[in-house]
Structure formats: structure tokens, C-alpha cells
Structure 1
């Protein structure tokens, strides 16, 4: 890292202030206590991505939900361009409309990580990590934002993310504990033995090009203890502990019976565990021989002289832009205009039936799953292979 002798640039400034209220004070105290109970920082798996817009008044603002891939986030940026094109068209500005539409069309053919609309928009990289201690990964804190235990929210596995709309500004003052955490994260790189050379080299390079750190609101997931080691349970990051419990409940009632091939007796045990999870709002659960925990996932964005970090060369980015993918599929003779219904196989069909039954139990419409949803649920759509134990 460059040594700034007398004056540090804004993105390297960590301003510490006193908490501005009881809630902030509690959060700072719990953050400090977490350093004792869960002293180790480890990667929570692959990064995620979102779109941020540079603000005239300083900083960047998150303008989309977090996605699993750079290309999926580029497509979101294309949709934002089309939305802005429609807005300026209503105002009669056809010249700007055409410019925005041209940008949207380019994004359908090219991998572009930054565009100029009503300001700079950029695909940014969000790193994920967890605290661990002698008893495993850190669970939610009492000061963490959570949804009310409202049955109307059940089944909303996504929902509003506190990170969406969040202003990324490294000069904003933080509490003492968060300031120290930022200092720790500035130096955080993956272990050389556990990553590829390209991934390690990119992480080291990011420490030079983007040495500043901004923390996003925490997310929540599920880890499972297996043979003394904690591993991810195949649950996507959720914006609140409530949503993580809700998604876990869905897995216990719907996904696990199918993809684990559970007997009827085992299914009843899993359903009972899901019921206890819903009724008590607990963060730990034992079902059969499995021990599961709702865990806290910290998220951060690295900053440099030109703003937040975008995707790294070593980040997995296998998806083609939508029109490139369209061309390749048509070249293979695949009829993309064929709208005949998809015939589900045995496990996918059972998954669909259990899903509809669970939605009916929750009093929700039994909407059909999107194409491939059953397969995605089987994989958990997890953001990379986390290693909560750091083993």
C-alpha cells in the first residue's frame, strides 16, 4: 500500500465518532464484543455484485439488489438504462432517449461494467466474510435489523435489502468498533494455499488499487456443522435473520425431503423442526443428525481513487451477454421461440408439488416456479463455497 505521509486521500480516511443514539451505541458495543467471542475473519465464499451510481454530493449509492454474477448485474444495469430512456422520452427528450437505448443495446452484446446515464453507473464487487470463534460462525446480533415475525412476510425469500439505496461513502463517520473492523479488512487477503494464483494475486492487487473499505449492512445465511467442521447449508444470503429462518423452513419442508430422499418418518421430523423454527424464532436447530445455525454475513466494498471496485479478472464470469447467448443457442439448433410447456422429471415434479403445498399452508398463491427453479433450489443458489470454520 502506498504510504501517504502527512495527508491521506478521502477513500483511506476512517473517521470515528461517538454513536448518535441508543441503537447505534448498542450496535457498537455488540460489534466490540464480537471481536472477543468471534475473533477470526474468514471469507464467506464468492463475492456478490450490484449496481451503484455516483452521487453529485459525494459517494456512490447502491441502486439494485445484490446478484450472484457480474453478467446478471450488467443486465440489471441495462434495464436501468431502458427505464431512464422511457422517463426522458415522456419529457420529450428524444436525443437522450436514443443515447440511453443505445447503451442498453450495447449491454446486450458486450460485457461493460460502467456506463454514463444521468451520472456514472458501475457494476461493483461486494466481498462477503464471517466472524468465527471456538463455537463456530457468529449468529445474528440483537442489534441487527430484522423483520417482524409477520406471517404475511413468509415466503418472501427476497424482499427489501437494507443494502439497496445504501450510500457508499468512506468519509462517513463510524463507531469505534466498525472503524477498527475497517482497519482489519484493509489488510484482509485470502490464504494463498486455499485459492488460485490468479485469485490471490488479484486480492493483493486490490489492496493497492482499492485500499479503502465501506461496510454494507450485514446479511444472514445458514451454516451446518458436519464432523466438527462448519459448512454452508446451501441458503442464499438473506437481508434479515427472519428471512434466513424462513428460507431454511422452506428447505426443511420442501427441498430437503426431495433431494435428500427422506423417508416419511424423516419428513415428519423435518417438518417438526421447521415448525419449531417458525414458532420460536431460534437461531440454532437440530434435526435428525444435523446441527444448523443462522449466521451473520458481513459485506464490504473496496474503494480506490476512482470509487468502488468492480469485478476482478479472476472472478468467475462465464455467462454471455443475452444476445450473444441467444446467437449461440440458435446456432446449436435450439428453438428459443418454442413456448411448449416443460415436462418436469420425477424429483422436480415432487419438488413442485411440495412447494405448492407449502405455499398453500402459508396462505399464499401457488404460483408456478420459474423454469429451472427446482434445479436451482437443489443447488441452493449459494454464492460460492463458503468456509465458515476457516478450515
Structure 2
């Protein structure tokens, strides 16, 4: 460990001591135990969201849209919708609406990753998803991971994404183990033959252009072990129980429908789902030779002198810009083309 690393870790430790927070110490011990049981990091790949630098919201970049999209264009479309609905419902000022709609027009025609609108800088940002792994596989939720106060098995995951408004500050407050992880990931690059050469080159370049790392709120996923590795099902959830509820609804509703289950399969998966539900906070289950787990999904965004990293040249889109909302004039009137 070089001197800079040691100084930063010492500062994190001193901050934790000064806080004298028993709950923080329990969280740190939990994280330390996890680092020993799941010592390696498995990287899944890039994700994209939208950040804003808004003087009215205070200093620094903050997330406007969650870093959860699989392609840059999905994040551009999310920004398009944000600006369009702000023009539709967020103002009665014709000049303000004109400027918002001018930005929408650009996003409908060009794959831009940054716009300035009404004094606010918007940027499509790139993150990486990763998880801890060890001999037992991907890391499940920790005892100190927050659960919702109401443990319900009906409806969608409660509450907004924890990403919304999250500051992209690579030097902000962090626990000792989170700070160590942040430092450890600074030198991370894609390596190995499974990554094309241009992806590896862009990854190595990003370490230089965006050398710092901002960690995003931890989320949770449903994953399945096929015997050849882990694959994910569904989207990110903000709590472990949200992911359990997602798995339960997949077993009882979604998969029987989209996979055209027969009667035997419906009954088999239904019984397994009810047993899983009855166990309360279980994080693993098996059915019909399949093994599922609730796992922690961690994410990071690289940052440089000018803020968070945008998409890289090697990041791919399956489609380009497109008009996604009706035409609006400066009075707010809509035209359906």
C-alpha cells in the first residue's frame, strides 16, 4: 500500500473514531466480514444514467436519473423525457419552454451526451456494476443492509430509487471499508480476452482521464446460477426484500405467463414460491433444478476534473435518437404527428 492510500485510509479511520457511532462500527464489522468471505470482485459491465450540475441545488454533480440503463441512448431518452415533461408541466413561461424544447429537439436528432439548459448542465454518465464474490458465489445481502419497515409481498418495490439526488462526490464521506473499496477500484480496468481490444483501451484511458471513483447506493438483484456462472433477472431493487418480492412475483406470475408454463410447472413453481415467502427473509431458493439468490449489486462512476465520466467510444447502442413525445409549441399546445 503506497503512502497516499495509507493517508486516506487513516483519515477515514480517524473520522469513524470521531463519530463514536456504535451502529457505524457494526456496519464496518459487517463489511469487513463480507470482504473476507467474498474477497473477489466480479464486474458485470457498464450502466448509464443522467447527472445534473445545477447551481440552485448546491455544488457538485447529482444524479437526476438512476444509473441503471444498459445503453447510453436509454439515458438520453430519459433526459429527453425529463426536459419535455418540464416544458409541459413545469413552467408557464414561454421563453423557458422554448429553451427546454430546443434541447428536446437536439436529443431527438443527435446522440449527444451533454447539454446545458437554463443554466443547468446535464450529462449522460457511465457507471460499472460489480459484486463481491467468493467460494460461496455472489455476495447475498448483509445483516446491516436496510430493509423496508413494512415487509409486504404485494405490489412493486416501495419508494423512489436511492440514486435520485445522490451526489457524485469521490471525496465525500465514506465508512472505512467503503473508502477502501473506493480506493481499490480506482485502478480497475477491463482485462482478458473476453473484452475487445478497443474496450480494454478505453478502460485504460478512463483511469487516466477520470482517476477517481464515486460509489453509488447499494442495490439488490435476483440472480440465477446455471452451473456456468451467475446471470441476473429483472432490474435493481432498493432493498433486499424488494428483490425477494421481485423473485416471488416472477415465480408466480411473470414466468408462467411469458415462458408458457404447463400445469405441472405452474404448480411446481407456485409451491416453491410459497415456501420461499414463508421463510421471510430467505436469500436463496431452488426449484426444478434451478438455483436463485438475492445478491448485492454495487456500482461506481468514474470522475475527473470536469465531473463524472460520460459514455466511452466503445459503448454500444442498439438504436439511435428518435422522437418519443408529441410536438409541443411555446404555448404548451401539443400536436400529434
Specify the alignment match of 1:321 in structure 2.
321
8 A Cα contact 1:223 1:230, kept in partner: no
Which of 68, 72, 75 lines up with 1:70 in the alignment?
72
CA distance 1:150–1:88, shift in 2 (3 Å)? closer
TM value normalised by structure 1:
0.73
CA distance 1:50–1:23, shift in 2 (3 Å)? farther
Specify the alignment match of 2:170 in structure 1.
170
Specify the alignment match of 2:224 in structure 1.
224
Local SS of the residue matching 1:316: coil
Specify the alignment match of 1:289 in structure 2.
289
8 A Cα contact 1:124 1:308, kept in partner: yes
Specify the alignment match of 1:124 in structure 2.
125
CA distance 1:89–1:239, shift in 2 (3 Å)? closer
Specify the alignment match of 1:141 in structure 2.
142
The alpha carbon displacement at 1:89 in A equals 4.0
The alpha carbon displacement at 1:236 in A equals 2.0
Specify the alignment match of 1:113 in structure 2.
113
8 A Cα contact 2:224 2:233, kept in partner: no
CA distance 1:246–1:119, shift in 2 (3 Å)? same
Q: Distance in 1 between matches of 2:82 and 2:254?
A: 34
Q: Distance in 1 between matches of 2:150 and 2:307?
A: 38
Q: Distance in 2 between matches of 1:83 and 1:261?
A: 38
8 A Cα contact 1:137 1:295, kept in partner: yes
The alpha carbon displacement at 1:149 in A equals 4.4
CA distance 1:163–1:128, shift in 2 (3 Å)? same
Deviates more, 1:188-197 or 1:209-218: 188-197
Local SS of the residue matching 1:48: strand
Local SS of the residue matching 1:313: coil
CA distance 1:89–1:238, shift in 2 (3 Å)? closer
8 A Cα contact 1:155 1:247, kept in partner: no
Gaps of 5+ in 2: 327-335
Q: Distance in 2 between matches of 1:59 and 1:25?
A: 29
Q: Distance in 1 between matches of 2:27 and 2:150?
A: 21
Query: Is 1:185–2:190 an aligned residue pair?
Result: no
Specify the alignment match of 1:40 in structure 2.
40
TM value normalised by structure 2:
0.84
8 A Cα contact 1:210 1:309, kept in partner: yes
Q: Distance in 2 between matches of 1:169 and 1:30?
A: 24
The alpha carbon displacement at 1:159 in A equals 4.8
More strand by share: 2
8 A Cα contact 2:151 2:241, kept in partner: no
The alpha carbon displacement at 1:290 in A equals 1.6
Local SS of the residue matching 1:303: strand
8 A Cα contact 1:58 1:169, kept in partner: no
The alpha carbon displacement at 1:198 in A equals 1.4
8 A Cα contact 2:157 2:238, kept in partner: no
CA distance 1:265–1:54, shift in 2 (3 Å)? same
Specify the alignment match of 2:333 in structure 1.
none
Which of 13, 16, 19 lines up with 1:18 in the alignment?
16
The alpha carbon displacement at 1:261 in A equals 5.3
Specify the alignment match of 1:60 in structure 2.
61
The alpha carbon displacement at 1:255 in A equals 3.5
CA distance 1:168–1:249, shift in 2 (3 Å)? same
Specify the alignment match of 2:331 in structure 1.
none
Specify the alignment match of 1:80 in structure 2.
82
8 A Cα contact 2:147 2:241, kept in partner: yes
User: Pairwise mapping of residues 294-313 of structure 1 onto structure 2 (< 5 A)?
Assistant: 294-313=294-313
